[in-house]
Amino acid sequence: MVKRLIWSNEAKDCRQKIFEFWNQQTGSKVYSRKLNTLFNEAAKLISNFPKIGRISDFENVRVKNMKQYQLFYRETESQIQILLVWDTRRDPDELNKILK
């Protein structure tokens, strides 16, 4: 059963910052569009198959790996909430602060 997908404000903000970073680095939106497609495809996959992500170190949170990014999400009976889009090259202590 496909579950309703909700992007948290934190996930939306992280996603936007990633796009802005790559727009500035490349001077183009081409790579950001590719990342947007990657994130949307992963979210759709999670919506269809909620257990596809591995269990994370955070309570009731799963994680779906995509290249150097991760989608952290939580599943309930009726929906899936994407909590965070994380660039794995960032400091892991920051991740702990956000998700704890």
The structure's pTM equals: 0.90
**For residues 60 and 2, what is the distance between their CA atoms, to the nearest angstrom?**
19
Alpha helices in 1-100 (DSSP H): 9-26, 30-48, 92-99
Report percent pLDDT > 70 for the chain: 99
Q: Is the pLDDT of residue 86 over 90?
A: yes
| pLDDT tens digits along 16-70 | 999 999 999 999 999 999 999 999 999 999 999 999 999 999 999 999 999 899 9
Give me the pLDDT at residue 11, please. 96
How many residues does this entry show for the chain? Answer: 100
CATH number at residue 45: 3.30.2310.20
Domain that includes residue 69, residue range: 4-99
Cβ(53)–Cβ(62) under 8 Å? yes
Give me the pLDDT at residue 92, please. 85
Task: Please tell me the total count of domains within the chain.
Answer: 1
Which residue has 């790559």 as its token pair? 22
